A and B are shown apart, each in its own frame.
Chain A
C-alpha cells in the first residue's frame, strides 16, 4: 500500500502569537513541534506498511524549517518526506491548504490511503482531512479509533462519535483522520534518527504540483481573520475551603446548593 500521511508543524501552545497585520499565527522564531495528533497518523501508517508492505510518505506544507518534522517522521519509520514550501502557500486557510495537499497527493500518484491527525492543535479546525478527501473525491472516515480490516480495494474502520462509535467500510483510496487512542507511537531509535538526518527532503513549489496560484495562499483563502482578542477573562470569585474532610465536604455541598447546582 502506498500511504501518504499529512503532518503539520505547529507552534507549542504556550507561545501563541498573532501577527497584528495579517491576524494570522506567527510561526517565525517560535518553538515548533509536530502536531501531536499527527504522530498517531504516522504510527498507524507505519504499522499498516509493516503488515501489508508498501511505502509511507509524509507530506507537510509549511516554512522551510518544517523539514524537521518530516525528519522526525522518518526517524520513526516513514520512508520519505516531502515538503510543500513557498511564499505563495503562506496564509492559506483550510480550503487552500487542503487544495494544495490534494494536488501534492495527486502528483505523488497511485496513493491508496491518506492519513491525517484528528485536528491540528493551533487552528483546531479538523477541516483539512475531509477537505483533502473532497478535493480528491475520495471516501473518508474521521475520528478513526481503530482500523479493523484492509483488503486490496477496501478498508474497514471504527469511527468515534460523542455517543459511541460505528464501523464502516470504504473503497480505497480513502482519507482517514485518526484520534489519539488508536495506537501508541514508537519512539525513534538512534539508528532511525541517524537515517533521518541523511534523508533527502524534496521541496515542492506550486508549479511542481500544478497548483492554480489563485487557489492557494491568502488569495486562495475565502476566510479572513479580521480580529483577534484574548478570551474573556475568568472572573474568579475565588473561594477557598479548608479544614477537616467532613467540614470541606459540608461547605462544598452548601456552595453547590446555594448556586442551585445540586
Chain B
C-alpha cells in the first residue's frame, strides 16, 4: 500500500460523519457521532461534515446542524431509500476523493459495518471497527481509536498514521448525543448521483422493520435476560412480562437459545450480540466467559440466581439470591403501572 507523505496528509481536512437513515428517518446513532466528531474538529480547527444518503432527505438534513454539524452533504435518489451497500459505498468513495476528509466515522450498526469496509478498501484506507473512544492528536491529526477486542477482554488503541482519511465505526449508545441547539446554522451541499454509482447494485425487494418480534437489544436501556434457569419457553413469557413492565427488551444466554426456548436474535454474548445497556438483569444465567464478554460493560448488572456463587453473581452490582420463579412475579407486582 502506498503511504502518504506529511505533505499529502495536509490536503485532508475536516471530520466526516456518515449518517444512518432508516426509511427516511435519521437514526439516533447519527446524533451520537456528530457529538463525538465535534471535539475532534475543534481540536483540529476544522469542521464537522455529515453525509446523508437517502431519498427526500433534504429537510431532515437541516435538523443535523442543531447537534453540531457545520455542513451536510445530501445525496438524494429514490434508490437510496433502502439500504444498498454497493451504491452507497460508491457514492461515499467518490465524495471522499473529491473532498478529502481527514477522518470518516460511521455507526457500528449492521448497516455501517457492511458499508464502510467497502469504502475503506476502495479508498485505500485503514479502518478500525467498533470504537468506544476517539481522540485526536491536535498537531498531526492522527486519530487515536480505542476499541474492545476479544469480546471485550482487551482494549486496543489503533492509529493509522500513514493514510488519510482515517476511518472508524463507532459503537452505538456509547457516545452521548448532544442536546440540540436549534439556533445553530450550517450549510447544505447537494451532490448528485452519477451513473457509475448506480452500476451493479442489488435489488432490495422487501423491508421489514420495527416488527413486534424483532429485538433491538442495541437500543434497549434495560435488558431482562434469561438463561437455562428459566427452564423453558414459559419462563421467557414471564421475562417478557417483566421486560414490558420496565420498558426493556428480552435477552438470552446461548443455553436458552440452543434449547429452543427463544430465538437466536435474543442471544447475548460472544456468538450473539454485544450489548452495553444501562441495566442488565440476568435471570438464571451463570455467567460463563462467553456470555460475560457480551454484556459486562453494561452500566449496571443485576443478577437473580439461587446459587450465590456463580460468576454472574460475583460481578453483579446487585445479586439477588433466590428462586427466580418466586421473585420475578413478586417484582412484577411491585412495579407500578407507568
Contact = CB atoms under 8 A, between A and B. Distances in A.
A5 B245 CA distance: 44
B289 interface: yes
Interface string A121-134: 11111111111011
Is chain A's binding surface mostly helix, strand, loop or mixed?
Answer: mixed
A129 to B, nearest CB: 8
B59 to A, nearest CB: 22
B194 interface: no
B43 interface: no
B203 interface: yes
A141 B202 contact: yes
Interface in B295-338: 296-297, 300-302, 308, 314-323, 326-328, 330-331, 333-335
Contact of A124 (B151, B214, B334): B151
Contacts of A95: 1, 120-121, 124-127
B160 A224 contact: yes
B96 interface: no
A89 interface: no
Contact of A180 (B218, B267, B315): B267
Interface in B254-310: 263-265, 267, 270-272, 274, 278-279, 289-290, 293, 296-297, 300-302, 308
Interface stretch (B33-41, B111-119, B183-191, B226-234): B111-119
Given A134-B118, A165-B208, A227 B82 contact: no
A162 B27 CA distance: 12
A223 interface: yes
Nearest to A126: B113
A139 B86 CA distance: 7
A16 to B, nearest CB: 4
A258 to B, nearest CB: 11
A13 B322 contact: no
A81 to B, nearest CB: 23
A253 B89 CA distance: 48
A151 interface: no
B161 A242 contact: no
Interface in A205-262: 214-215, 219-232, 234, 236-243, 245-246, 248-250, 252-253, 255-256, 259, 261-262
B304 to A, nearest CB: 8
Contacts of B320: 240-242, 248, 252
B129 A226 contact: no
A225 B157 contact: yes
Given A25-B150, A222-B1, 9 more contacts: A98-B121, A134-B117, A134-B119, A143-B114, A161-B110, A163-B210, A167-B205, A219-B1, A231-B155
Interface of B: 1-2, 22, 82-83, 85-86, 89, 109-111, 113-122, 124-130, 144, 148-163, 200-211, 214, 216-219, 222, 246, 263-265, 267, 270-272, 274, 278-279, 289-290, 293, 296-297, 300-302, 308, 314-323, 326-328, 330-331, 333-335
21 contacts: A16-B153, A16-B154, A36-B271, A94-B129, A122-B150, A127-B117, A140-B118, A142-B110, A161-B111, A164-B211, A166-B207, A168-B202, A180-B264, A214-B1, A223-B158, A234-B301, A242-B322, A243-B322, A249-B333, A249-B334, A252-B331
